[in-house]
Amino acid sequence: MELNEKSVKKLKEDFPIFKNNPGLVYLDNAATSQRPSIVIRALVDFYEKENANASRGVYTLAEKATERYAEARKVVANFIGANPNEIIFTRNATEGLNLLSYTLTSIIPQGKNEILLTEMEHHSNLVPWKQLAKSEGFKLKFVKVKNDFTLDMDDLKEKLTEKTAIVSVTHVSNVLGTINPVEEISRLGKEKGALVIIDGAQSAPSLKTDVKKIACDFFVFSSHKILGPGGIGVLYGRIELLEKMKPFNFGGGMIKKVTLSETEFTSPPERFEAGTQNIAEAIALAESIKYLEKIGLDNIHDWEIELVNYALKKLKEIEGIEIYGPSENKVGIISFNLKDIHPHDVASLLNDSGIAIRAGHHCAMPLMNRLGVVGTCRASFYIYNTLEDVDALVEALKKVMEKFGK
Ligand SMILES: Cc1ncc(COP(=O)(O)O)c(C=O)c1O
């Protein structure tokens, strides 16, 4: 389905939040997306009609819950080009990265003691590795961000060595909107025998993902950013690696056999899903994926680009605006500052006009340092945003400038 101003206005009717908040201009999609009724309905339906624990009981409801949970895993696997046994349900992208930081030491070869990250990582793909470096003595290295807001690939090649154990890179920057060349990064990482992790939190919403084409070892994303419910995320792992990795959490649902003296763990993905899972959320996540696939990820990205290009053209008319992000190869995210006005002041004044944007460091403090700012304003677009939303943003920003006498 092609997205344009008219079809988007129609599609917006699927999202009850807009009916319940008339006039809302929601431009904080990189933080979390809104949910269509079909996803909300899937949650309610499960609890009202089908609730039981999965992978445990033999009665009809329990078997149905087990079946629906397994079906959801298949939908997720298909969404990113993986096999169902390579999909682990987590709480969010952050938990997926933490799981890796706790478990990968069990498969890292001797002599490899470096972790390569970039200056543009979200704290979720930074702090877990910093903790691992502290506890296990790994050395962290960071690929530089160039002045054109893209990754410095020469720097990456220089910093990648035979000692690199892990390369963990965001697919898309949550601040700059930059799309990183993850296929090339995976290839280069593999050449050095490193494990390659891609943080897909900001790419999964609008870029068609094929983990086999990227050829990464692991890929994480969150449901709440792709129209799905909160409290559930996804970790993809290459099955050959998952089979060798030690579990993350221990308890029910992840064992083959337990005696008082011994424990035998089950195979992936269950090995990494201890305890009762978010069954309703997995089912609702599958609904959000079906909804996105019906529209088509390419159509979604095209519409984001149309919105972003229109916004950039109009924003540049505001004298004194500073925009942080590449001119091409990006998603629907724009970071900016208005002269020396604090981003929080801008966001508060925009709120008075019913416009929701994010302001601050966006959980990317090292990138703020690199940009030489304390924070930025960030407008991020998704499938229900219109060109009218962009007009409203630009008009409101002009008023902010007037208010501050700029
Ligand atoms: C690039 C990136 N990685 C990781 C995360 C963490 O996602 P979550 O908070 O859903 O775990 C975010 C969230 O904004 C993000 O933008």
- In the chain, the amino acid numbered 158 is E
Task: Report the candidate in 178, 151, 125, 197 with the shortest Cα–Cα distance to residue 364.
Answer: 125
Residue pointed to by tokens 């919403």: 205
**Per-residue confidence at 106, pLDDT binned at 50, 70, 90?**
very high
CA of 232 to the centre of ligand 1 (A): 12
Whether the per-residue pLDDT at 83 is higher than 90: the answer is: yes
What is the distance between the alpha carbons of residues 313 and 316, in angstroms, rounded to a whole number? 5
What is the distance between the alpha carbons of residues 271 and 228, in angstroms, rounded to a whole number? 24
What is the distance between the alpha carbons of residues 401 and 320, in angstroms, rounded to a whole number? 9
What pLDDT, on the 0 to 100 scale, is given for residue 316?
94
CA of 6 to the centre of ligand 1 (A): 31
Q: Which residues have a Cβ under 8 Å from the Cβ of 264 and sit 6 or more positions away?
A: 255, 256, 257, 258
**Per-residue confidence at 404, pLDDT binned at 50, 70, 90?**
confident
Q: If DSSP codes are grouped into helix, strand and coil, which group holds residue 266?
A: coil
178 and 128: one domain? yes
What is the distance between the alpha carbons of residues 285 and 396, in angstroms, rounded to a whole number? 35
236 and 362: one domain? no
Is residue 35 assigned to a domain? no
Whether the per-residue pLDDT at 406 is higher than 80: the answer is: no
- In the chain, the amino acid numbered 207 is L
DSSP lists the bridge partners of residue 110 as none
Instruction: Answer whether 279's CB lies under 8 Å from 126's CB.
Output: no
Q: Which residues line ligand 1 (CB under 6 A)?
A: 92-94, 122, 124-125, 170, 174, 199, 201-202, 222
What pLDDT, on the 0 to 100 scale, is given for residue 58?
87
Q: What is the pLDDT of residues 25-42, one digit of tens each?
A: 999 999 999 999 999 999
289 and 223: one domain? yes
What is the distance between the alpha carbons of residues 169 and 216, in angstroms, rounded to a whole number? 11
232 and 363: one domain? no
CA of 26 to the centre of ligand 1 (A): 18
Q: Which of 120, 174, 218 to mutate to test the pocket of ligand 1 (most atoms within 8 A of CB)?
A: 174
265 and 337: one domain? no
Is residue 132 assigned to a domain? yes
Mean pLDDT of the chain: 97
Is residue 381 assigned to a domain? yes
What pLDDT, on the 0 to 100 scale, is given for residue 128?
98
Question: Region 138-159: what's the mean pLDDT?
Answer: 98
Q: What pTM, to 2 d.p., does this model score?
A: 0.98
What pLDDT, on the 0 to 100 scale, is given for residue 135?
96
DSSP lists the bridge partners of residue 167 as 116, 196
Is residue 66 assigned to a domain? yes
Is residue 34 assigned to a domain? no
Q: What is the pLDDT of residues 336-359, one digit of tens each?
A: 999 889 999 999 999 999 999 999
What pLDDT, on the 0 to 100 scale, is given for residue 9?
97
324 and 197: one domain? no
What proportions of the chain, in percent to the nearest 5, are helix, strand and coil?
45, 20, 40
CA distances from 29 to 25, 58, 224, 248, 291 (A): 11, 41, 10, 30, 17
Catalytically active residues, by annotation? 363
Q: The sheet that has 358-360: what strands, in order across it?
A: 321-324, 333-338, 376-380, 358-360
Q: What is the pLDDT of residues 114-139, one digit of tens each?
A: 999 999 999 999 999 999 999 999 99
What pLDDT, on the 0 to 100 scale, is given for residue 20?
98
Q: Taking the CA atoms of the chain, what radius of gyration do you get in angstroms?
A: 22
363 and 345: one domain? yes
Question: Tokens representing 258?
Answer: 């337990």
Number of domains in the chain: 2
93 and 12: one domain? no
16: phi then psi, degrees, rounded to nearest 5: -60, -25
Whether the per-residue pLDDT at 105 is higher than 80: the answer is: yes
CATH number for the domain that contains residue 349: 3.90.1150.10
Range(s) of the domain holding residue 254: 40-293
Q: What is the pLDDT of residues 49-75, one digit of tens each?
A: 999 999 888 899 999 999 999 999 999
Query: In 10 A of CB 27, how many CB atoms?
Result: 28
